[in-house]
Amino acid sequence: MIKETLKVLFIDNCTLQEAADKLGVTQNDIRDRLIMLQHMGYVREICNNSSPKSSACCSCTAASSCSGNTGISSSKAYQLTEKGERICRN
């Protein structure tokens, strides 16, 4: 399950809905898997902003009202960690 989810999302570059369709699960299941993969160290959450004030801005609940905000939505985005890349290569 881990390898397949990582490959569909990060190698095939599928959207959450496309990944859910390919894996035969719901979009909520894919979101839950992403959270689990993050806790396991296979992916990390990154900012979806091009220039955040700091790394803390991604998780800050006040980011949308911050004076340094550029108005760009800071929705969650993920990237593979080195551990995630290794499992995808095998």
Maximum Cα interatomic distance, the chain, rounded to a whole number of Å = 45
Residue 62 placed within a domain: no
**Residue 54 placed within a domain:** no
Number of domains the chain contains: 1
Q: What is the mean pLDDT of residues 3-22?
A: 93
Q: What is the CATH number of the domain that holds 82?
A: 1.10.10.10
User: Is 25 a domain residue?
Assistant: yes
Model-level pTM? 0.69
Percentage of the chain lying above the pLDDT 90 cut = 57
Q: Which single residue is written with the structure tokens 């929705």?
A: 75
Residue 65 resides in a domain? no
* Segments forming the whole domain that contains residue 21: 2-48+76-89
Q: Which residues contact 26 (CB under 8 A, 6 or more apart)?
A: 20
Lowest mean pLDDT among 14-18, 26-30, 41-45, 54-58: 54-58
